[in-house]
Amino acid sequence: MQNFTKIALKQPSLQLSVVGALVCPVNAVRDLGVFIDNDLGAATHVRRTVSRCFAALRQLGHLRRYVTDDCFRALDVSLVHTRLDYGNYVLVGLPVYLQRRLQSVLNAAARLVFRLYVVTTMSRTPLQLFTDCCVYTTTC
């Protein structure tokens, strides 16, 4: 019978002694909320950020009918957009497939804010939709 336990990516069993403490290598580290991979990439940061943003969007979806549109936009910006913006200096030179994952969060947020529940191809970017909305309302 096989053991079906989850196996983490194995790192070399190299342990370093730093000031008397043993330090083991890991796949990714978090410093000031930014995840950096062992190859100095941003894949872990993007994966975790996208996951947290979609979790916030799911929670916001439950609140949608109980708050005003202005309040909902403020919640969207404070809970989703700030997570996307934080640590964006590690996203310079990001591969296209990771950029698409981040863009999917913005698209989902725009659909939720503007009540576009049917998945359609958006010809306008979320920023253009937001600015159009601000033109028609008195406060933004």
pLDDT tens digits for range 56-115: 999 999 999 999 999 999 999 999 999 999 988 888 888 999 999 999 999 999 999 998
Contact present, 49 and 84 (Cβ < 8 Å): yes
pLDDT(137) > 50: no
Dihedral of the CA atoms 66, 69, 74, 75 (nearest 10)?
30
Q: Running DSSP on this structure, what letter comes out for residue 53?
A: H
3-state class (DSSP) for residue 104? helix
pTM above 0.85, yes or no: no
pLDDT(11) > 60: no
**Whole-angstrom Cα distance, residue 123 to residue 24?**
48
Residue 116: the pLDDT is 83
| Averaged pLDDT, 10-32 | 79
